[in-house]
Amino acid sequence: MKILVTGGAGFIGSNFIYYMLHSYPDIQITNLDKLTYAGNLENLAIVEKDSFLSSRYKFIKGDIADAGLIDRIMAEGFDAIINFAAESHVDRSIEDAGIFLKTNVLGTQNLLEGLKKHKIERFIQISTDEVYGSLGSEGKFTEHSPLMPNSPYSASKASADLICRAYFRTFHLPIIITRCSNNYGPYQFPEKLIPLFITNALEDLPLPLYGDGLNIRDWIHVEDHCRAIDLVLRKGREGEIYNIGGNCEKTNLEITRIILEKLNKPETLITFVKDRPGHDRRYAISMDKIEKELGWKPTFSFEVGIEKTINWYQENSWWWQKIKSGEYRKYYERRYGKIR
């Protein structure tokens, strides 16, 4: 199988590329990535250094918003496209929504036009549970829940999902949408909660916790997410949506305390900061559909997954220290104040 992965130098995309190349000796992957601040080819160093993996892997630097480039790449012929490419940080979308619309909406539409022209057999749109909006204290989102996004980021992802739905209905294209809960694991850019708090704790820096810290998220280890996408790619039904969750609801404050406890750091590092505008209170998604149709379940307990993740950041400080000493430091200090 020959696969075009967009956004493959990012967190989930790079983990997926490694998972697929490692799992299937007949897979060939082309990775198209713009290499924005969150795209990092060092995420795929393990692939580049392995001759068996690298012989089936190709990287192209480029933007999915470039329609001409997309047309030329797709003309090479692919069996499937998996679209991870997206601007994904809520805080950045609040500061500047324009790039989110360009990449997440117009970029997706370019890919769909290429799909239509070059008759590729399968297109997987990687989306998010944030498109559903915020839940109360009970219940879970299903694939039939209305889309009620509350941030420019989630609105751009909901828009892309609706464009995918329209292209499936109008042009009968082989499109499937997946919507996943919060991922964690190796190579996650340290602006997201878990890697930010792990790396800050390792450096004895404050852990900036929004509001009262009681916002609830469902957490899934990235390897479980990769297994789910693989199943959807091979066995999912065209035109369908599949929710992918970890069945692991925790408040941000719980996550923070777990990280501090495992690193033997004091809770005095917790610093409550002004809440994010429009901060959704709770996400939780039902996995009944993917479990019944495809037989998928998460395999990582949070206890095992967070231990493995913390160990990775401890053992790979070179990776995140390089990121946190660059342009990201200016962004962080603009949001949370000077790093001592």
Residues recognised as catalytic: 129-130, 153
Residue 180 backbone phi and psi in degrees, to 5:
-110, 155
Residues 6+ apart with CB under 8 A from 122: 79, 80, 81, 174, 176, 233, 238
DSSP state string for 175-239 = EEEEEE-EEESTT--TTSHHHHHHHHHHTT--EEEETTS--EEEEEEHHHHHHHHHHHHHHPPTT
The helix/strand/coil state of 155 is helix
Angle at 38 between CA 85 and CA 183, to 5 degrees: 70
Q: H helices of 126-192, where?
A: 152-171
DSSP string, 86-114: ----HHHHHH--HHHIIIIIIIHHHHHHH
CB within 8 Å of 239: residues ≥ 6 apart: 168, 169, 175, 176
